[in-house]
Amino acid sequence: MRESKRMCYYVTEFQSKESHAENGVHATGFVPSIVVENEAGHSYASYPTKNDPIRLPYFWSKGFSQEAYENAVKICEEKNKSLGLTKKDVDLIVLSSMMKEFNESKKS
């Protein structure tokens, strides 16, 4: 039987035009990440990939100012709440992902 895993949306303030440009994306604002419980890393919501280069980024702000970040975080909190997640749930999901990534990096 397959384990049921929770997922949440997450926005980090460390995004910038430059950080997205490194991935070949012209970003105009914060892109939400999807984090899955007990899975290492994250994936950007609607972010182009090698298999789907046409997909457009999904921005939750206009620009990268502190105000834009705070607005993106509000949207993120609303989306997570609609999934039935509390702030503590989100923190635990993100932490489980970070721990998984850390443990996997120790193996290599």
Q: How big is the CA angle at 38 (ends 36 and 39), to the nearest 5 degrees? A: 60
Q: What is the pLDDT of residue 50?
A: 63
Share of the chain above pLDDT 70, in %: 85
How many whole angstroms separate alpha carbon 69 and alpha carbon 12?
A: 8
**Size of the chain, expressed as the number of residues it contains:** 108
Closest alpha carbon to 11 in 35, 27, 28: 35
- 43-47, 59-63, 78-82, 86-90: segment of lowest average pLDDT: 43-47
Q: How confident is the model at residue 102 (pLDDT cuts 50, 70, 90)?
A: confident
Task: Report, as an integer, the average pLDDT of 13-25.
Answer: 84
Q: Does residue 52 have a pLDDT over 80?
A: no
Q: What is the pLDDT of residue 98?
A: 92
Mapped onto helix, strand or coil, the DSSP state of residue 28 is coil
Q: What is the pLDDT of residue 107?
A: 78
Task: Report, as an integer, the average pLDDT of 1-21.
Answer: 84
Task: Report, as an integer, the average pLDDT of 52-70.
Answer: 80
How many whole angstroms separate alpha carbon 67 and alpha carbon 61?
A: 9
